[in-house]
Structure 1
Amino acid sequence: MVELIATTAFGLESVVKQEVKDLGYTITEVEDGRVHFQGDAGAIARANLWLRCADRVLLTVGTFKAVTFDELFEKTRVLPWEAYIPKDGAFPAAKISSVKSQLFSKSDGQRIVKKAVAVRLGQAYGLEKLPETGDAYPIFIKLLKDKVTLAINTSGEGLNKRGYRAHGNGAPLKETMAAALVKLSRWRPDRFFLDPLCGSGTIVIEAAMIGRRQAPGMHRHFDAEAWPIVGQTAWDQAREEAEDVLSRSPKFRVLGSDIDPAALKQARINAKFAGVTDFTAFQKLPVEQVRTHRRYGVIVTNPPYGVRLSDKADVAKLTREMGQVFRAMPDWSYFILSGYEDFERDFGQKATKNRKLYNSMIKTYFYQYYGPLPPRKGRRAAVAGERETTNEK
């Protein structure tokens, strides 16, 4: 068994916890920004392929208390690094965080951990100097209230790097956050789905991937694919599993609209790269013109809110327009991520509930407006070929 950590944006811990449980692994601890769990070596492959809302998967090497740099060195040195890092492995101290700890100098912490690991590996392999010419084993260091956690990054680039977003708009939403918004909406493919401010299409694409049970990591590489402790067989089995559960029949269609033709062009290209073209449709349409006779649909959107795009007057106007348009669809549910402080006032309706989320370090709220569920007998898939315009007369 190995100890793993799924890191995540603050506010999404419960979403990632459920994803880990759905994969069949045992949760051992949940803390701010981290979900700890246990699994076999194959869990490294499956977690990287399947976790939609986590940022990275880390392999825990050890935890201990340290209040001096001497303690940090000695307790790092006695950990079994050779069980994970081979003779030629590269092991940069890639990332460090220190919160409410006496060891607050990040550069010193990185240097000391690097040195301690080098001493341990040098002794284990009988080498005075380690070549570090092989595959990467980046070390993550976390110090919280003098507790040190040392782990190795199995993912490489963040899990938001799905491999499909060659193009993005001015302030794109991370893929992991977009997937989390869809998950929190509890949308299912038997209900209509719309993002009326879709930009380059990230929310729509993530919904399509969820709807067709497409593993988000299917089309990318992970650092741990080259690691002997995981093995090629585990990766092959994980990818075969992902292929086996993938739904290829276009029995639903998720919709996106926007007023920016360049962004819509990017959205279509991104959907093609993601392999979900048959499950998505995009059209040019101002939000104030959104109309539909469809019932019991779901809107998930991330409009501009004045932090990096637009000014406050534009954001207030857009928020009022959204409120008017969305309330004209009384049996729809709508979910809006916004950092605009007067959102509920200008939207004209208090949310059923809201959730604080950090979108790339920007504090936002996910405003959730729940409409009625469709009658059980009326639930059906939104099949391709039906009229898909969002401004039906």
Structure 2
Amino acid sequence: MEYIALCALGLEKILSNELKKMNYKIEKANDGMVEFYGNDYEYYKLNLNLRTAERIFIKIGEFYAETFDELFSGITDIKWVDFLPKNGKIIIDKVRTSKSVLYNQSVIQSVVKKAIIERLKKEYKINSYLEEAGIYKFRVYIKKNKVTIVLDTTGEGLHKRGYRKLVSQAPLRETIAAAMILKAGWKRKHVLIDPFCGSGTIPIEAAMYGLNIAPGLYRHFVFESWHNFNKNRLDKIKKEAIDSIKYTELKIYGFDKDYKMIEIAGKNAENFNLDKYINFEKNNMESIKLDYDEGYIITNPPYGERLKDKKHAEKIYEQMRYLRKKYPKFKYSIITSHEDFEKFFGNKSDKKKKIINGKQTLYIYEYK
């Protein structure tokens, strides 16, 4: 079976490395998608274990179409009984087109759904198709007239782990926080400090990684509504994930000058019983007095999207030079939307990684 793992643009390599560690061979990785092959029900394991993926798709079919007739014909050529029952709820969730003759998204949605139902009626020998049981969400991608249709096994995006009941004003997406930790190379034996922890996303993701807790362990997926869902299979995979948790002492610290944020971060950590592995403390960056010679500072300082806030953010970046003086041997991973962060921080980064998350462009600055 062909799979596509979706991620933020720029995280393809990090996600590919995750998949390689799970013994998958990568076929293609670009445009926020990583393509690979796996066995029929491996989407159970993929959804449960991947830290940087947003969704797991099954590739259903691929063909060329320049007219709606060709689109209809291409969809009806697919053997839909392999994926759908005779009464599943079909949703054409999204359509993405680029450099193609067909571009009207609502018409494409309508044609694709009609073609799927016509083929199912024929295969199941039924006169009418009633959408009653299970949710089957499809996405259609058309690039240079090549149509790719995929089935979403995930449902709500994988960044929704379930621990973040309360958030800060501009929370960092969980999958991006996990990507920062993986990219930085942090391991559980090292100290990790987040001086702008907000609602606690980076420290919580670090604790989950450090303890080897599967990020999808405590949530549900859309495939659990499907006709072929096997609860015993999922329970077995969850048990394997629980058995592989490595309870150990961690040196993770989250600071924020706002006491309300520290309270929120603590409550979010409590939701997954991680509060005893993370030290959250109300403190200004300049007041951090931890005595460690080496370690990691992984953080998401204020962005400052508006002009007034931007000036405030730039002042904070200048003040962050204090961290470099106090912790000169630490490795740094800092994410911000500010392209000139290095100028204010006073050091050129060893690596600068661009990430596009929806409409937002972010940069990860790494200092080794």
TM-score range, shorter chain: over 0.9
Paired position in structure 1 for 2:293 = 295
C-alpha distance in 2 between matches for 1:232 and 1:59: 19
The one-letter amino acid paired with 1:277 is D
Counterpart contact for 2:3–2:35, Cα < 8 Å:
yes
Judge which range, 56-65 or 323-332, deviates more.
323-332
C-alpha distance in 1 between matches for 2:9 and 2:307: 23
Q: Given the alignment of the two structures, is residue 183 of structure 1 paired with residue 182 of structure 2, yes or no?
A: yes
Paired position in structure 2 for 1:368 = 366
CA offsets per residue over residues 89-148 of structure 1, 9 Å max, x none? Answer: 111101111122111111111111111111111111122221111010101111112111
The one-letter amino acid paired with 2:364 is F
Equivalences for 1:34-49 in 2 at 5 Å?
34-49=33-48
Secondary structure, aligned partner of 1:135: strand
Equivalences for 1:1-393 in 2 at 5 Å?
2-229=1-228, 231-248=230-247, 250-307=248-305, 311-370=309-368
The one-letter amino acid paired with 2:223 is A
CA offsets per residue over residues 138-188 of structure 1, 9 Å max, x none? Answer: 011111121111011000100011111110011111111111111111000
Q: Which consecutive unaligned segments of at least 5 residues does structure 2 have?
A: none
Aligned pair in 2 of structure 1 residues 120, 309: CA closer, same or farther (>3 Å)?
Answer: farther
Alpha-carbon shift at residue 225 of structure 1 (Å): 2.3
C-alpha distance in 1 between matches for 2:260 and 2:208: 23
Counterpart contact for 1:92–1:138, Cα < 8 Å:
yes
Aligned pair in 2 of structure 1 residues 50, 13: CA closer, same or farther (>3 Å)?
Answer: same
Aligned pair in 2 of structure 1 residues 292, 78: CA closer, same or farther (>3 Å)?
Answer: same
Root mean square deviation, CA, Å: 1.4
C-alpha distance in 2 between matches for 1:357 and 1:296: 27
Secondary structure, aligned partner of 1:130: coil
Q: How many residues align?
A: 368
C-alpha distance in 2 between matches for 1:238 and 1:322: 43
Q: Which consecutive unaligned segments of at least 5 residues does structure 1 have?
A: 371-393
TM-score, normalising length from structure 1? Answer: 0.91
Counterpart contact for 1:41–1:229, Cα < 8 Å:
no
Secondary structure, aligned partner of 2:254: strand
Counterpart contact for 1:137–1:153, Cα < 8 Å:
yes
Alpha-carbon shift at residue 310 of structure 1 (Å): 6.1
- Identical residues among aligned pairs (%): 38
Counterpart contact for 2:8–2:32, Cα < 8 Å:
yes
Counterpart contact for 2:80–2:119, Cα < 8 Å:
yes
Counterpart contact for 1:58–1:153, Cα < 8 Å:
yes
TM-score, normalising length from structure 2? Answer: 0.97
Secondary structure, aligned partner of 1:194: strand
